[in-house]
Amino acid sequence: MPDRYGQTALHVAASCEQPAVARSLVLLGANIHAKDGPLHDGETPAMVAARFGATEVIDVLDKYARRRLKMAGGRTELVPAASIFLKNAPPPFSPKRMRVPSMDEIK
């Protein structure tokens, strides 16, 4: 949920150069394409990370975006973030079989 300036937790993680927090937020479903408010020129978390020189956060966001596109087979529909970071993604529509990997497994 954005704050009164339109910034999400992912925007804050990017500006504070926190790749582990950014990774966790992405796993929990944070929108990597969210734009902050007009006070901040409508920047996405990746743009904020670039402005602050947070290269590790940029890597996390890029990795997520690339895997999401690959899993979607080039289509643009949404793919659950947690399944992107699993080495063996569960079959579709079986949330009982999904598990969120630990931070050590993601690296």
User: Which DSSP string do the residues of the chain spell out, in sequence order?
Assistant: ---TTS--HHHHHHHTT-HHHHHHHHHTT--TT----GGGTT--HHHHHHHHT-HHHHHHHHHHHHHHHHHTTT--S---HHHHS-SSPPPTT-GGG--PPPHHHH-
Q: How does pLDDT run across 30-66, given as a tens digit for each residue?
A: 888 888 877 768 888 988 888 888 899 999 998 888 7
Closest to 8 in 3D by CA, of 30, 26, 27, 29: 30
pLDDT score at 81:
47
Read off the tokens for 15. Answer: 């500006």
pLDDT score at 82:
47
pLDDT score at 19:
92
pLDDT band at 10 (very low <50, low <70, confident <90, very high): very high
Q: How does pLDDT run across 84-101, given as a tens digit for each residue?
A: 444 444 455 445 555 667
Contact 56, 19 (CB under 8 A): yes
pLDDT score at 16:
92
CB under 8 A, 24+ apart: contacts of 92-98: none
